[in-house]
């Protein structure tokens, strides 16, 4: 397993060791001992999976305390542009974001710690999976509008398909000003 640190503390991209031969491929998408040795969280309590057609944008979502979640995200099949925004007010990178291209053929993952808003847009039909460090709580859910002018995220997709719930999320400034 290789880990790529990002410019935002705690936010990393993970490249598992993939074994390929004429039969196909095998890799460990999660190994508690390897993650512990790498300093990554190992206590995941919920797994989620979604299927989205090409052009769907989900997010930017987060859970407020006490249900804040760290997420280990990956694509089972397909490809996404994955975005994590630092919403930790005391962080030197507060309001900054990182973009990952997660690909079911590359098998790369991203670990997104608590204190981040998260979203993705599908670049092709995609099965997306993620492990969470805390249980989901409807009362604690929140989010930031995907096309926030201050964040100015380039999603790389013109006219994405966005849910009615996500289209009315507040701006970053209205939540954190």
Closest CA to 38 of 4, 68, 6, 82: 4
Give the pLDDT confidence score for residue 13 in this predicted structure: 97
Active-site residue identified among 35, 97, 111, 130: 130
Strand-pairing partners, residue 101, are 81
Active-site residue identified among 35, 61, 97, 111: 61
CB within 8 A of 176, min separation 6: which ones?
Answer: 87, 89, 94, 95
The length of the chain, given as a count of residues: 177
Residue 19 has pLDDT above 90, yes or no: yes
Architecture in CATH of 2-176? Sandwich (2.60)
| 20-78 confidence digits (pLDDT tens) | 999 999 999 999 999 999 999 999 999 999 999 999 999 999 999 999 999 999 999 99
The CB density around residue 31, as the number of other CB atoms within 10 Å, is 14
User: Mean of the pLDDT values across residues 79-92?
Assistant: 97
Q: What is the pTM of this model?
A: 0.95
Q: From CA 53, how far away is CA 107, in angstroms rounded?
A: 19
Is 61 annotated in the active site?
A: yes
Give the pLDDT confidence score for residue 48 in this predicted structure: 97
> CA angle 55-138-47, nearest 5°?
65
List the domain boundaries for the chain: 2-176
Give the pLDDT confidence score for residue 177 in this predicted structure: 79
Is 130 annotated in the active site?
A: yes
Element of type H or E holding 56: strand 56-63
| 153-166 confidence digits (pLDDT tens) | 999 999 999 999 99
């Amino acid at each position: 397993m290789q880990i790529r640190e990002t410019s935002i503390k705690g936010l990393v991209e993970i490249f598992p060791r993939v074994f390929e031969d004429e039969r196909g491929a095998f890799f460990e998408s999660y190994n508690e001992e390897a993650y512990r040795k790498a300093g990554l969280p190992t206590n995941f309590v919920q797994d989620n999976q979604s299927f989205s057609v090409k052009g769907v944008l989900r997010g930017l979502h987060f859970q407020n305390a006490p249900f804040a979640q760290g997420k280990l995200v990956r694509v089972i099949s397909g490809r996404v542009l994955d975005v994590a925004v630092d919403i930790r007010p005391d962080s030197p990178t507060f309001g900054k974001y990182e973009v990952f291209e997660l690909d079911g053929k590359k098998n790369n993952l991203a670990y997104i710690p608590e204190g981040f808003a998260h979203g993705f847009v599908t670049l092709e039909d995609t099965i997306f999976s993620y492990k969470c460090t805390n249980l989901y709580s409807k009362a604690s859910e929140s989010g930031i509008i995907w096309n926030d002018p201050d964040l100015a995220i380039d999603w790389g997709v013109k006219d994405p398909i966005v849910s009615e719930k996500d289209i009315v999320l507040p701006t970053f400034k209205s939540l954190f000003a």
